[in-house]
Structure formats: structure tokens, C-alpha cells
Amino acid sequence: MSTETMVEQQTVGTAPGNAAPTIAGVGRRGQVQGQVILEASSLTKRFKSMVAVDDLNLTVRTGEVLGFLGPNGAGKSTTVGMILGLIRPSSGTVRIAGQDLASNASLVSENIGAIIENPAFYPYMSGRDNLRAHAMAVGKIPESRIDSLLELVNLSERARHKYKTYSLGMKQRLGIASTLLTDPALVILDEPTNGLDPAGQREIRAIIPRLADQGHGVLLASHMLHEVEQVSDRVLIVRRGRLITEGSVDDLLRRGGYIEVSVPGYDPELAQKAIRPVQQIEQVTIENGKLIVVAPEDVGSALNRALVEQGIFASAIMPKHSTLEDLFLELTDETEEPA
């Protein structure tokens, strides 16, 4: 193979993951979460007068997907660059597998697999042969490992086809397979669905949770809120390089939730008055004849009793959850800087 036929490789090399992690919790899909594989503390990057990343803290455990979310220009790619040792932090530390990256640059190759741009391969070779070439470059990888990875990314049936015939989604999936050859503890995906059609995006979204289920930690950097919401266990939202909020996806969605109470045929103001004594209610408003109740989901039965006691019968009492998009827009509105 001549070097002219090889497009510049954009995947970061990896080596086998660490020993079995200590159990720390269970994710959204019931998968075991283990040791902290990545810890960034007070991470800051300044480019002259511009602060791209400002005092950021994040952790990723094996067995979880952390959605790293923010609009374009929020500092996500700069953060990823510092984690991979490609950008030197102005201050702060990055620890990988418990060790300081600044004193041991080999920690990246030993523990992390990453796709930071569109992956590239030999166009006239098959998907399988491209993986074989990558396997030769990183070390002795058994053929069985290549087979299992092709199956993981749903390319077994197209493994013998030339790379140049692959769709963009298939190329991205092969890139993910190449990062997993040496079983890294942490996988970093930076905007993995950029440029893909909806079918390709769906294919990538299906793979990401499988990586966590197999014990990898996954850092998913994206500006696509619905994508992060679907596949992540936790999310960390940044704006202009600063942390806005973080937490489990379920907790964050509940934070913006409410209960919708439909009382057709009754005066909604009387219904509003009837439920005010119910404990744990934070706020009650009326919208389009319905009561919008900000309260925990489990007060639904108490709401119903309070209404019935006043001779009001609700046709529906329905918990409503916000989306990450709703939450993100709300938070960015609240943090807008004055002109």
C-alpha cells in the first residue's frame, strides 16, 4: 500500500482498556458503571483575550455515556482537544485512569479511542481489510476481534465491499470500529453525526449505547440536543466555555416537568383554587382552560382528591416532561449577558 492512497488518519490510536472497574452505579439501561476513567478539573483555555473554556469540571465513568452538550462555539472541541493532549490547557488538569496527563502523554494512546473528524481509510480496500490494516498499525489484534466489531457496527454484510462504496453513515461506523480495535476504556465521539442524513444519524445513535453496555466510557460531544437526550446517561451543558448545568438525563428532564390537569365543563379558576392546599405544589397557572401544575409527578392522586372534594372531576391528569431542548433554551435565556 502506498502512502499516497492513504488519506490522513483522523482517529486517535488506542491500547487495551484497564482492569475490571469498581462498580459505582447503574445507568439508564441497567448497565454497570465503574471507575472514573476521565476527570477534568478546573480546565481552562485562553486564546489571547478570548476564553474558550472557563474553569470546567467533568468526569466520565466506564459503562456510561456522558453527553457533552452546547451550541457551536461553546468550547466543546477545545475541551476534547485538551483531553486528547492536542491542546495545552492554560490551567487545570486532565486525569486519565487516575493519572495526570501532563506528566504522561502516553495515557491517551493507552486508554482512549476517539474520532475527532471524519474518519479516513483506503478507498479501494474493503471495510474488513481497512480494519486489518489498522490492526497491524496498533498491534497484534485477532481476526475474531475484527469480526465482533464489524457485527457491533452492523457492517458484517458489507465487510467485503470496498470502502469507496460506503455511505457516509457506514464510513462513520467503520471509523468507530477502528477506534475500538484495542478495547479502549474511553471512547470520545466529537459530533459523530455531522453531515449524515437521518438514517445515518439513527445508525450512529443505535451504536453509542452499545459501547457503554460493553463497559466503555463514552464522551459524546454534540450540539444536537435530541441526539444527546436519547443516548446519554448524564449530560453536561456548556455555553461560552462555562458549565450551565449537569446531571442525569432523567433528573434534568424532570426538573422542567409539570402536570397538566384537564377540567372541561368546569371553571378552571375554581379548580385552581381547589388544588392550592395540596402540598408540594410550587406553582399553578391556567393555559387554554387547563391547569399547569409545577409539582412532583406523585401528587397526581392528591390533585384528583382535592378536585373531587369540590365536586370537580378531571378528565385527565397527565405528567409532562420537558426536553433537553426546552431546558437548554430556558437556561441560555436565563444566563444571557446584559447588553
pLDDT single digits (tens) 115-127: 877 777 999 999 9
pLDDT over 60 at 234, yes or no: yes
pLDDT digits (tens, 9 = 90+) for 153-193: 999 999 999 999 999 899 999 999 999 998 999 999 988 88
- Helices within the chain (DSSP H only): 76-83, 106-111, 127-138, 143-152, 168-179, 198-213, 225-231, 249-255, 268-275, 300-309, 324-334
| Mean of pLDDT values over 235-252 | 87
Per DSSP bridges, beta strands 112-115 and 186-190 are parallel
Give the type of residue at 144. Answer: S
Comparison of pLDDT for 184 and 72, the residue scoring more:
184
Could you say which DSSP state residue 156 is in?
G
pLDDT over 70 at 18, yes or no: no
3-state secondary structure of 75: coil
Give the type of residue at 6. Answer: M
How far is it, in rounded angstroms, from Cα 256 to Cα 247? 13
In the CATH scheme, what is the code of domain 3-252? 3.40.50.300
How far is it, in rounded angstroms, from Cα 167 to Cα 314? 52
pTM metric for this prediction: 0.77
Comparison of pLDDT for 175 and 338, the residue scoring more:
175
Mean per-residue pLDDT of the chain: 85
In degrees, rounded to 5, the angle at the alpha carbon of residue 112 between the alpha carbons of residues 109 and 115 is: 105
Four-point Cα dihedral 297, 301, 305, 308, nearest 10? 90
pLDDT over 50 at 336, yes or no: no
What integer pLDDT is reported at residue 180 of this predicted model?
94
pLDDT over 90 at 307, yes or no: yes
Residue 201 grid cell: 444519524
338 CB-contact burial (10 Å; exposed 0-12 / middle 13-18 / buried 19+): exposed
Give the type of residue at 231. Answer: V
What integer pLDDT is reported at residue 29 of this predicted model?
65
In DSSP terms, 262 is beta-bridged to 290, 316
How far is it, in rounded angstroms, from Cα 238 to Cα 256? 18
Q: What percent of the chain has pLDDT over 70?
A: 86
Lowest mean pLDDT among 25-29, 92-96, 177-181, 249-253: 25-29
Give the type of residue at 232. Answer: S
Lowest mean pLDDT among 10-19, 171-180, 241-250: 10-19
**Residue written as cell 470520545?**
188
316 CB-contact burial (10 Å; exposed 0-12 / middle 13-18 / buried 19+): exposed
Q: Which CATH architecture has domain 258-320?
A: 2-Layer Sandwich (3.30)
Every domain of the chain and the residues it spans: 3-252, 258-320
What integer pLDDT is reported at residue 139 of this predicted model?
81
Residue 112 grid cell: 482512549
Local confidence band at 239 (pLDDT 50, 70, 90 cut-offs): confident
